[in-house]
Amino acid sequence: MPTHLSVNVNAIAQLRNRRNLPWPSVTGLARIALEAGAAGITVHPRPDERHIRRHDVFDLVALLRADFAKAEFNMEGYPDERFLALCEEAKPDQVTLVPDDPAQATSDHGWDVITHAALLKGVVARLKGRGFRVSLFLDADPALVSGAKATGTDRIELYTGPYGHAADAGVQAAELKKLVATTEAASAAGLGVNAGHDLTLANLPQLIAAAPAIAEVSIGHALTADALTYGMAETVRLYAKACGA
């Protein structure tokens, strides 16, 4: 099975939110991503709505359900009552539970599955009872897999930040080893494996080759940056033409 690409549209929403204007369009760019072959869309609606706003969640669900029946909607977040109620209303295909503090700039660690075992068991059961697949954001450490399995989760999402932003090749190779070992331990335990954070065109092929069992990667920051890079020349041509060139 090829690894599915879920496009995270947080960064597109963050750019839109600079002004009180409807562009760039989150649903418009999600449509382009899905038409280009993305298997799904990911959002991480944070409590301060710095990027994804409540209406984006419902606009994206409407788009997916109307025009992309096979594509999946993945919602990431900390499982407080606000987030859980939003999931229950939006009905995503997958919910990824992330241990983020509301003030956090971005996700930077996975769950302590032992300390938070009771919380996670309750939330996983609640979400699975609604028919959603559940995934737990986890650091790359095979020792964490049995605790994750005990929560009842369907999948884990490997936190790939330390691999993705490693500046040193030796450090990156060591991080890759941990990701592979955790993927293998999770697969052996019957858990599905997703991965995400700071994945790029440069570091993705090596990860997929080393851990082909990864079912899904969610990518936002680098993919959005690359979309600007690859789209800039054509856009400038269009604006130059509009200037009469």
Binding residues: 8, 19, 46, 51, 106, 198, 220-221
Gap between the terminal Cα atoms of the chain: 48
Strand bridging mode 133-138 / 40-43: unpaired
Interface pattern 178-217 for ligand DXP (x via CB under 6 A): ------------------xx--------------------
The two structure tokens encoding residue 82: 């606000």
Which residue of 3, 8, 194, 224 would you call a contact of ligand DXP, by CB under 6 A?
8
CA dihedral over 109, 114, 118, 122, signed as positive or negative: positive
Residue 192's identity, in one-letter code, is G
Please answer whether residues 181 and 159 qualify as being in contact, where contact means their C-beta atoms are separated by less than 8 angstroms. Answer: no
Beta-strand (E) ranges in 25-119? 40-43, 72-77, 94-97
Residue 133 touching ligand DXP (CB under 6 A): no
DSSP string, 35-48: HTT--EEEE---TT
**Which of the residues 15 through 54 are near ligand LD2JLWAY (CB under 6 A)?**
42
Is residue 115 near ligand DXP by the rule CB under 6 A? no
The only residue of 38, 220, 222, 223 in contact with ligand DXP, by rule CB under 6 A: 220
Among 72, 76, 175, 216, binds ligand DXP (CB under 6 A): 76
Footprint on residues 153-172 left by ligand LD2JLWAY (CB under 6 A): none
Query: With contacts defined by CB under 6 A, how many residues of the chain interact with ligand DXP?
Result: 12
How many residues in the shown chain lie near ligand LD2JLWAY by CB under 6 A? 12
> Among all chains, which residue has been given the structure tokens 């979400």?
127
By CB under 6 A, name the binding residues for ligand LD2JLWAY: 8, 42, 76, 196-199, 218-222
